Structure 1
Amino acid sequence: MTTLISKGRARWLRDLPSRAALALLNERRLRLWLGKRHEAALQRHAPDLPDLDPLGNHIVETLNSKGVCITNLDDLRIPGAHDVVESAWRLSSDFAPQARTLAKGGQQFIIVPPAEIVRHPQIFRLGLHERLLDIVESYLGLPAAYDGAAINYTVADGLEIATRKWHRDREDRRMLKVAVYLHDVDDEGGPFECIARKDPVRNDIDGYHYEFGYDAMLKQRLGADYANDLTSCTGRKGTVVFCDTARFFHRGKPPTGRDRAAIFYSYFANPPRHPFLCERSGISRDEALGMIEGLSFRQRRAALWRREVPPIMRLIPSASV
């Protein structure tokens, strides 16, 4: 118990600068000014948005209306993507015994060690494919920042903890998570879920405050019948889920029948509103730099997004996961 209290205090102290920065950016005059700057940036960039094919347009339109869109690797036609899934599946399978041990020990959020992704850079590089960047940029309305890849491993213990609770992500106004299933995921296997109703509260006018979405709050915020718009993203191996995890409540449904493993790729605008709440993959900046050699300027710019963060914001250390 003493150790847990000490760790909690250390985390509270570490995250103090990021909490202070979020509070400052929520100051009314500042957030309204930031909102106007953001709208102006969207208007300036609108003529330069990528041209999408029918599937890309469908994904963006569905995200705008429902916050989530389900497709698959075959339809996306990204070269080498199936090989990446096989590599990531082997890593998650090898990691499974350790993941279950960590879950029994009380660890709530479990990922395959980031060092394994660094040793398999094709997993990281897939998230920088031009097809994905086109979709992300078209949805965000601004050049994409790429926050890396993580292989999430969810143990089938049925517990509603951490990201298995309804929540919204904190990195930016809009953002995209792209989940790629490494095996078949049914209703008992912890599918990704999203409530296809926009949260009307958090924005530059009302401010950005974050909490878990319990039933009473969701009914008040989204309507008593919010569950009618719940999308449960079951699917076969290679299923790809696009979701705006900043504007829409989402979760990983607590798995009861079998563990779930998936790659999660994260994106937001370059630069994001809250850079100090980013960098969640566990991959260091130097490690990311080593995995993008030979890529295009656009791809490298997306991966090295912190270079475009205002200098004063770079001084704020990233919050703990």
Structure 2
Amino acid sequence: MVSLTVAAGDADEARPGKARAVRRLVPRGISAMRRQSAFALRSLAETPLVSHWSDQRYDAKRARHAIRLPSVSDEQRTVLADLDDAGVAVRAVDLPPDVVASADRFVGLLRRKTVDKPCVKATPRELAGDPTLFLWGLSGHLLDLAECHIGLPARYLGVEVKRELVESAAGGNHEAVRRWHLDHEDRRILKVVIYLADVGAGAGPFGYVHRSHTAAILESTRGHNLRGVPDDRMQGLVPRTEWTQVTGPRMTAIHVDTGQVFHRVFPPSTSERYSVTFAYSSRSPYYVYSRLMLPRRAIQQLRHSVSQRQWDALCVGRRGPGAG
């Protein structure tokens, strides 16, 4: 198992006590401002005054890149077709043994953590200790899929391994993802969510409504809402019978454009949910989450072990208009 070295200065975990708490407050405040800035930027791009020009420019970029799109397999074409239709494609995934073993190690790590939060995630430092999952997200077939869906060279935003808890499912600061919302990292996003344990109706399944409802929801809610749309409001827009909960066995993969499909996490009621998410955008996103990426030093150590295309997808040195 490969392990990457992380300097103490690259992770808050290395700073104990009050000093660590203080050091975390400022970045979190900056991160919140950057998220709001990205939200405002995307909202501005979708106003009638700006959207016509903005859409034309964006569509022209995608049209110019169309002849450079990579070839994909027949199965990947069906995934792309489902993404273009519903915005979601659910498939079974067969991961390499070393990737499965790495995922299981993180499940064990998260299971051992004692927290009073609705969700606990592997830290960038922990991911650097075993970068197998992170590196799998740079696989050629995933970059191909992301590039073809986005229509532009893909940026790998990183990986998130998390555990959704039953006990704290209704509390903490995780309320936003319990509501219906769109992600605002970019115009087109690809996220691949893989269940690392069986997920039934009581295990916090991923939920979404068909992409065809998105425009009407946005119109009714007057654009993107950072706090999301609560169930009672959504029920008045889309009947509950049209809400989809993705249940499935371990290694169920959900390919979703979270920037175009209203989605949410249903709170676990009977068992915890373990999952890993790989995220992709264009190389000029509105916003990027630094918590999905390995620490800087760990990324630099990958330079000679990845291809040029993979390195380019990491966009080293390019944080985007907002990062947090």
- Structure 2 length as normaliser, TM-score? 0.79
Contact 1:146–1:305 (Cα < 8 Å) also in 2: no
What's the counterpart of residue 153 of structure 2?
Answer: 143
Q: Secondary structure at the match of 1:15?
A: helix
Q: Which runs of structure 2 are paired with 1:226-237 in the superposition (5 Å)? A: 227-237=240-250
Contact 1:191–1:252 (Cα < 8 Å) also in 2: yes
What's the counterpart of residue 112 of structure 2?
Answer: 97
What's the counterpart of residue 261 of structure 1?
Answer: 274
Q: 1:218 aligns with which of 206, 218, 234?
A: 234
Q: Secondary structure at the match of 1:307?
A: coil
What's the counterpart of residue 5 of structure 2?
Answer: none
What's the counterpart of residue 101 of structure 2?
Answer: 86
Across the two proteins, how many residue pairs are aligned to each other?
291
Deviation, structure 1 residue 183 = 1.8
Deviation, structure 1 residue 55 = 0.7
Q: Which runs of structure 2 are paired with 1:1-321 in the superposition (5 Å)? A: 11-12=28-29, 15-20=32-37, 22-23=39-40, 26-27=43-44, 32-74=52-94, 80=96, 82-98=97-113, 101-102=114-115, 104=116, 107-157=117-167, 159-160=169-170, 161-198=175-212, 199-200=214-215, 209-219=225-235, 223-225=237-239, 227-272=240-285, 274-275=286-287, 277-281=288-292, 283-304=294-315, 307=318, 309=320, 313=321, 318-319=323-324
Q: Secondary structure at the match of 2:163?
A: strand
Going from structure 1 to structure 2, the CA distance change for 1:126 and 1:39 (only over 3 Å counts) comes to same
Going from structure 1 to structure 2, the CA distance change for 1:49 and 1:111 (only over 3 Å counts) comes to same
Contact 2:118–2:167 (Cα < 8 Å) also in 1: no
Contact 1:158–1:254 (Cα < 8 Å) also in 2: no
Which has the larger displacement, 10-19 or 147-156?
10-19
Distance 1:25 1:232 in 2: 28
Contact 1:158–1:255 (Cα < 8 Å) also in 2: no
Deviation, structure 1 residue 51 = 1.8
Contact 2:181–2:225 (Cα < 8 Å) also in 1: no
Going from structure 1 to structure 2, the CA distance change for 1:182 and 1:144 (only over 3 Å counts) comes to same
Question: How large is the RMSD of aligned CA atoms in angstroms?
Answer: 2.9
Distance 2:140 2:280 in 1: 13
AA aligned opposite 2:99: V
Distance 2:317 2:59 in 1: 21
Query: After superposition, what is the alpha-carbon deviation per residue over 1:90-123, rounded to whole angstroms, capped at 9, x for unaligned?
Result: 222232131xx32x2xx34420222221111111
Deviation, structure 1 residue 36 = 2.4
Deviation, structure 1 residue 143 = 1.0
AA aligned opposite 1:283: L
Deviation, structure 1 residue 303 = 1.3
Contact 1:115–1:283 (Cα < 8 Å) also in 2: yes
AA aligned opposite 1:66: A
Deviation, structure 1 residue 266 = 0.7
Distance 2:29 2:130 in 1: 33
Going from structure 1 to structure 2, the CA distance change for 1:305 and 1:71 (only over 3 Å counts) comes to farther
Distance 1:211 1:151 in 2: 23
Quick one: percent identity of the two aligned structures?
A: 28
AA aligned opposite 2:228: F
Going from structure 1 to structure 2, the CA distance change for 1:9 and 1:135 (only over 3 Å counts) comes to closer
Query: After superposition, what is the alpha-carbon deviation per residue over 1:127-158, rounded to whole angstroms, capped at 9, x for unaligned?
Result: 01011111111111111110111111111237
Unaligned runs of 5+ in 1: none
Deviation, structure 1 residue 244 = 1.0
Distance 1:9 1:146 in 2: 26
Query: After superposition, what is the alpha-carbon deviation per residue over 1:203-254, rounded to whole angstroms, capped at 9, x for unaligned?
Result: 9xx865533121343245xx342x3332222222222111111111112221
Unaligned runs of 5+ in 2: 1-20
Q: Secondary structure at the match of 1:180?
A: strand
AA aligned opposite 1:83: D
